[in-house]
């Protein structure tokens, strides 16, 4: 059975990074964008990272431009935006595709382990669901991620614990991270 440690990804400079470098850590894997209604998630993510990184926690940020072209910049432009606007200090990797024929195998694995189960209830969630269906129609059966800022929680053994859609309250995400850290 696979774990995330079986995968490699590219850093912002295009260098290959083995995810086995993160063995023993609790991880939050996030596909991000700089021009999305959920971009402010960077703020609680960075706050969580500052408080919990010394306890064995890492956030791995993967920019993606597949959702209404909300991450159009280069890796450097995206990185500079995140540092200047939100002071992010967690690792940011190369921009990737999370859906379609060119979907990164790592994200295919994550989404296969914890498939999309909907955005939840409420008007905002219903509106996002409608918009996402239109946007993601082009990916057909290769739609793995519903929208920007989908988060996957990984335990210290490299297993996917849970998936959080972007509509999930960030306090719930943090509570789940802290629970994993305290195991």
Q: What is the pLDDT of residue 100?
A: 93
Q: What is the CA radius of gyration of the chain?
A: 15
End-to-end CA distance of the chain: 22
The percent of residues above 90 in pLDDT, for the chain, comes to: 75
Find the catalytic residue in 5, 8, 10, 36: 36
Is 82 labeled as catalytic in the residue annotation?
Answer: no
26-32 and 57-63 as β-strands: parallel, antiparallel, unpaired? parallel
Residue boundaries of the structural domains of the chain: 4-181
Is residue 125 scored above 90 in pLDDT? Answer: no
What whole-number distance in Å separates Cα of residue 74 and Cα of residue 148? Answer: 17
Residues 43-55: tens digit of each pLDDT: 999 999 999 999 9
**Is residue 33 classed exposed, middle or buried when 0-12, 13-18 and 19+ CB atoms within 10 A define those classes?**
buried
Is residue 137 scored above 80 in pLDDT? Answer: no
Q: What is the pLDDT of residue 126?
A: 73
Is residue 142 scored above 90 in pLDDT? Answer: no
Q: What is the pLDDT of residue 58?
A: 98
Sign of the torsion angle spanned by Cα atoms 49, 145, 95, 128: negative
Task: Answer whether 0.75 is exceeded by the pTM.
Answer: yes
What whole-number distance in Å separates Cα of residue 178 and Cα of residue 183? Answer: 9
Record: fold of 4-181 = Glutaredoxin (3.40.30)
Is residue 139 scored above 90 in pLDDT? Answer: no
Is residue 1 scored above 70 in pLDDT? Answer: no
């Amino acid at each position: 059975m696979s774990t995330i440690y079986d995968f490699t990804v590219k850093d912002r400079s295009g260098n290959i990074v083995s995810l086995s470098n993160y063995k023993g850590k609790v991880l939050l894997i996030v596909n991000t964008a700089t021009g999305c209604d959920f971009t402010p998630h960077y703020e609680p993510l960075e706050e969580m990272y500052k408080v919990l990184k010394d306890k064995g926690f890492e956030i791995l940020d993967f920019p993606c431009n597949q959702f209404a072209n909300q991450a159009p910049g280069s890796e450097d432009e995206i990185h500079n935006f995140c540092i200047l606007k939100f002071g992010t200090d967690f690792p940011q990797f190369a921009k990737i595709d999370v859906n379609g024929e060119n979907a990164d195998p790592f994200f295919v694995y994550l989404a296969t382990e914890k498939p999309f189960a909907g955005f939840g209830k409420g008007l905002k969630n219903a509106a996002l669901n409608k918009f996402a269906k239109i946007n993601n129609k082009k990916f057909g059966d290769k739609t793995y991620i519903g929208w920007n800022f989908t988060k996957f929680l990984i335990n210290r053994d490299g297993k996917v614990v849970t998936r959080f859609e972007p509509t999930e309250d960030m306090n719930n995400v943090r509570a789940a991270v802290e629970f994993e850290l305290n195991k």
